[in-house]
Amino acid sequence: MSYKLSERNQGNIPHLLDRIETVGQWEFKRESIKAAWLKVLGTPPDSFAAASAIGYEIMREEAMPDHRRLDIRYATFDGDQVEATLLLPNPYVFGEGKHPAVLALHPTASEGRLDIATPSGRKNRLYGLELVSRGYVVLAPDAITSGSRIYPGSEAFQSAPFYERNPRWTVVSKMLFDHMRAVDILCSVQEADSERIGAIGHSLGGYNSWFLAGLDERIRAVASSCGFSMFTDDPDPNRWGQRDWFSHFPSISDDLREDRIPFEWHEIAALAAPTPLWMWSGISDHIFPNWSAIACGMRDLDSLYKLLGRENSFTFWMGNAGHDFPEEARQLAYRFLDLHLGYHPKNA
């Protein structure tokens, strides 16, 4: 499947339910979308070890008023080491037993997880800290090329060293496998309920969250802030291709040179359905400015959730904000996670 980009416009996006009337027909189409997605994601290295042991090392631990902060390190499927922050609710505040858990994925910030899981993070980015203060177990890992995982001699989000070692793979696929390992870690945490795991993120973390939900059914709810765009009306569609900075999918640049796109982004978001999905976009977002096309994609995604009988599991909000995760939006996201992870926080 592919489309001619020059023919895309707001009224001519590829509709998810074109000639689709039943769930079975959708499942058949879903497989073709997934195949196109996996092709773009690329091929992991031959040394990939899916059966590597699950476990983590505690590097630092600190007691906070309502939680414990653990800085941990664990191995990925391909042998990398990930540093992450694990936030555990204080049992004297939130009670003993298992708590819902969230994989908190950071935006494009050179400091990585520190931006969302420590008091040093930026305003409107501290969703990791805010969620543990609601009683969630939170795991916030550094993504490759950021925080503790910047390549030696490189700057943050320079992906060239990755492609030198992995020419057939993509840095996004690497991130997703790392996120799956993070879910493994969350499932092993005694305080976390492995049946109630969500994902949340802003920008880079936002689209990584629903990318992940499309491949890992253990994610039971997603909240994504400013993490969705469309190729349609994007003034810079090569943001997804080969760049001197962070190259998501180098093959997309080849497609764009031929006026083609391998899919439209709401089709990839549809792979997450029927997982509960919350999306937020701003009409003044300078990163993803094509808000009208974004709204068209979200409307089409809504039709899919309705076909699947899960219309209450999809929520899209758009406001007059920029590339930000403002307080009002975060509270909506947290309540969505509460609802779909079956949680009733005492202090909310």
The answer to whether residue 44 sits within a structural domain is yes
Per-residue burial over 11-21, b if 16 or more Cβ lie within 10 Å, else e, is: eebbbbeeebe
Q: Which of 3-12, 67-76, 307-316 has the lowest mean pLDDT?
A: 3-12
The residue range of the domain holding 136 is: 3-340
Preceding peptide of 276 cis, ω within 30°: no
The answer to whether residue 278 sits within a structural domain is yes
Closest C-alpha to 216, from 103, 345, 295, 78? 103
The answer to whether residue 325 sits within a structural domain is yes
- The reported pLDDT for the residue numbered 150 is 97
Percent of the chain with pLDDT strictly greater than 70: 97
CA distance 42 to 32: 16
Q: For the chain, give the mean pLDDT.
A: 95
The answer to whether residue 79 sits within a structural domain is yes
The answer to whether residue 347 sits within a structural domain is no
CATH number assigned to the domain comprising residue 50: 3.40.50.1820
CA atoms within a 13 Å half-sphere pointing along the CA-CB vector of 209: 33
pLDDT band at 12 (very low <50, low <70, confident <90, very high): confident
The answer to whether residue 324 sits within a structural domain is yes
pLDDT for 24-51, tens place per residue? 999 999 999 999 999 999 998 876 665 5
Query: pTM for the whole thing?
Result: 0.96
- The reported pLDDT for the residue numbered 98 is 96
pLDDT for 170-184, tens place per residue? 999 999 999 999 999
CA distance 206 to 192: 22
The answer to whether residue 55 sits within a structural domain is yes
Report how many domains make up the chain: 1
Strands (E), 136-246: 137-141, 192-202, 219-225
The answer to whether residue 348 sits within a structural domain is no
Residue range 207-225: mean pLDDT, rounded: 98
Residues comprising the chain, all counted: 348
